[in-house]
Amino acid sequence: MERKISLPAMGEYSKTIANELSRHLGWNIIPSTNTVQSLELGARHLNELICLPAKSTLGNMIEACDLGATDLLDFDSCGECRLKTYWILHDRALKKLGYQVKVHPIRLGIHTPADIRRIDPSISWYRAWSVFIGTMRAIARSEPQQPVIGQPPNIGIVGEIFTLLDEATNHRLFDKLRKLGCFVHNSLPLSYFTFKRLYQLGWMKRKDMDNAILRKAERLAHQIFPKQIGGHGNTIYYGLMGFDGVIHVAPFPCMPEFTVASVIDDIAHDYGIVAMHLTFDLHTADAGMITRLEAFTDMLKRRHSYCRKTR
């Protein structure tokens, strides 16, 4: 029987990854897309206190199983996030629903080639590393090359990686802000998230950030928390860069992001910028979100104009 493989959606990144895996490994990839229906489907079979990415991912998996998927790739995070255990929860939920499918946890970073070979041991180490490096290069090329800072109001987006990168989950937050006349900066593209240690060592550099100030912000952030939790380090960076505000995004009920939310407020106050928190769940609606964004950006424009006149 031919193996059919699917991976959960995470914005445009999923399409790039699926194309690269299909092209270089010959895998038959079943595409996934996050929709209201997939989110509701996943939420129906998980505890309500499990965070939003776990629910949308399960919804993608159920839809893929209905299309004949035999193998599913699932995120395996590290650090403080409970995402590290979600592939186990997903596997249990799918088994309860009667799907005979194999769930493969995939770690991002130096362990990815080993996880690729675990799915298909016939793949050589050289080929696995080539596919991984080629895929990350394709991801880096697909990421928008935005400037370091733009015309005010300048807003940095910080928070949980899935909510930051998936347009369906964050309700196209970046597009909404740009339509309101804002310069919007993504603090955590996937390439930076995957190779953050190489960036910290100076072996890789971000073209859309001032790397010297970024290193300084990280040192200051470690004085607050010994580990990078949530977006407090990037909030310091935006404060040092003179941004007007930050928007902290989190899926309900994300423990690390809720832990750091009050710290972000303190940092924003100390560095003279404004912070707003957006929590996304199954019931988030565009109307209320747009009203909040309009009020926030209008306040930033007035504040920026006032500060310029009083200098």
Q: How many domains does the chain have?
A: 2
Residues 62 and 181 in one domain: no
Regarding whether 272 and 162 lie in a shared domain, the answer is yes
Task: Tell me, yes or no, whether 36 and 76 share the same domain.
Answer: yes
Is the same domain home to 30 and 108?
yes
Residues 115 and 185 in one domain: no
Residues of 181-220 as b/e, b for ≥16 C-beta within 10 angstroms? ebbbbbbbbbbbbbbeeebeeeeeeeebbeeebbeebbeb
Nearest-angstrom CA–CA distance, 142 and 18: 13
Do residue 104 and residue 159 come from a single domain? no
Orientation angle between helical segments 232-241 and 255-270, nearest 10 degrees? 20
Of the three residues 142, 168, 195, the one that is the final residue of a domain is: 142
Establish if 148 belongs to a structural domain.
no
Report how far residue 156's alpha carbon sits from residue 106's, in angstroms, rounded to the nearest whole number. 29
User: Do 75 and 183 have their domain in common?
Assistant: no
Domain that holds residue 106: 4-142
Residues 129 and 167 in one domain: no
Token couple for 223? 């004085």
Q: What is the pTM of this model?
A: 0.88
User: Residue 18 is part of a domain; what is its CATH number?
Assistant: 3.40.50
Residue 248 is assigned to a structural domain of this protein: yes
The pLDDT profile of the chain, 311 residues, written as one tens digit per residue, is 578 899 888 877 888 888 888 888 888 888 888 888 888 899 899 888 888 888 999 999 999 999 999 999 988 765 566 777 788 889 999 999 999 899 998 887 788 899 999 988 999 999 999 988 888 888 888 777 778 888 889 999 999 888 898 888 899 999 999 999 999 999 988 877 777 777 777 777 888 888 889 889 888 888 887 766 667 788 999 999 999 999 999 988 888 888 888 889 999 999 999 999 999 988 888 888 999 999 999 999 888 776 665 65
Domain presence at residue 147: no
Spatial distance between the Cα atoms of 277 and 139, rounded to a whole number of angstroms: 28
Q: Would you put residue 120 in left (φ > 0), alpha (ψ -120 to 50) or beta?
A: beta
**Taking a C-beta distance cutoff of 8 angstroms, is the pair 251, 22 a contact?**
no
Pair 183, 280 in one domain:
yes
Whether residue 185 contacts residue 157, with contact meaning beta carbons closer than 8 Å, is answered with yes
Whether 126 and 172 share a structural domain: no
